[in-house]
Amino acid sequence: MDTNDEMIKIQNCMHDAGFKLTFQRQAIVKVLLDHHQEHLSAEEIYIELLKQSFSFGLATVYRTLDILTEMNLLTRVSFEDGIARYDLRTEDRRHFHHHLICTQCGKTVEIHQDLLIDVEKLVAHQYHFEVSDHRLTFLGLCADCQRKKALGDVSHR
C-alpha cells in the first residue's frame, strides 16, 4: 500500500465532502496508515501521536475519527473487549473485511476475501433489501492456542 496515494485519496474525499485535511487530521490518518494491519483505539492513536511529539488533545482524535467514520473512510469495530477500534478502508471501500478472533489470546486475523456475495444477493432478492455493507467475525482458537491446548491436554494424562 502506498501511503502517499492513500493520503491523497483521503484528502480528496474530505475536500469533496467539504472538510479540510488539517495538520492534526493528517497526523491521525498517518498513524492509521502506518498501523493499517492493526485495529487501534482512539487512545492508542493518541499515544502514537504523543510518541511523535504531537500535542493536540484526545478530543481532536475522537472528532477526526467520527468524521472519517461518517465519510465511510474508516470503520468503527468492537471486538470481544468492547473497546471501539478503527480500521482505515484502503482497498475496496464497498465492503469491510472479515475477522478471525482467538478467544484465548485475543489475536485478530483479517480475511480480505468477500465471503458473503451470494448471501447479499439472496437478502436483496428475498427481502428486497439493499445491502451497503456487511461484517463477519469468527470466534475460536488460533493455531498457537490450539497447539498449547493440545500440549496441555497431553501433559495432564
Name the more confident of 155 and 22: 22
Phi, psi of 7 (to 5 degrees): -60, -40
Whether residue 93 is predicted with pLDDT greater than 50 in this model: the reply is no
Q: What's the whole-number mean pLDDT along residues 137-157?
A: 82
Phi, psi of 71 (to 5 degrees): -85, 0
Rounded Cα distance, 75 and 96, in Å = 8
Domains and CATH numbers, the chain: 1-93 (1.10.10.10), 96-157 (3.30.1490.190)
Provide the strand spans (E) within the chain: 40-41, 74-78, 84-88, 98-102, 108-111, 137-140
Instruction: Give the residue ranges of DSSP H helices in 17-142.
Output: 23-34, 42-51, 58-70, 117-127
Percentage of residues in the chain having pLDDT higher than 70: 91
Binding residues for Zn(2+): 102, 105, 142, 145
- Mean pLDDT, the chain, integer: 86
pLDDT digits (tens, 9 = 90+) for 56-90: 899 999 999 999 999 988 888 877 777 888 988 76
Residue 11 pLDDT class (50, 70, 90 cuts): very high
The confidence score (pLDDT) of residue 90 equals 65
**For residue 125, what are the CA distances in angstroms to 107, 114, 122, 135?**
36, 19, 5, 19
pLDDT digits (tens, 9 = 90+) for 98-137: 778 888 887 878 787 777 888 888 999 999 999 877 777 8
pTM for the full model? 0.68
Which residues are CB-contacts of 14 (< 8 A; sequence separation ≥ 6)?
A: 20, 21, 25, 67, 71, 73
pLDDT digits (tens, 9 = 90+) for 35-64: 987 889 999 999 999 999 998 899 999 999
Which residues are CB-contacts of 20 (< 8 A; sequence separation ≥ 6)?
A: 14
Binding residues for Fe cation: 134
Question: Are the CB atoms for 98 and 138 separated by under 8 Å?
Answer: yes
Binding residues: 102, 105, 134, 142, 145
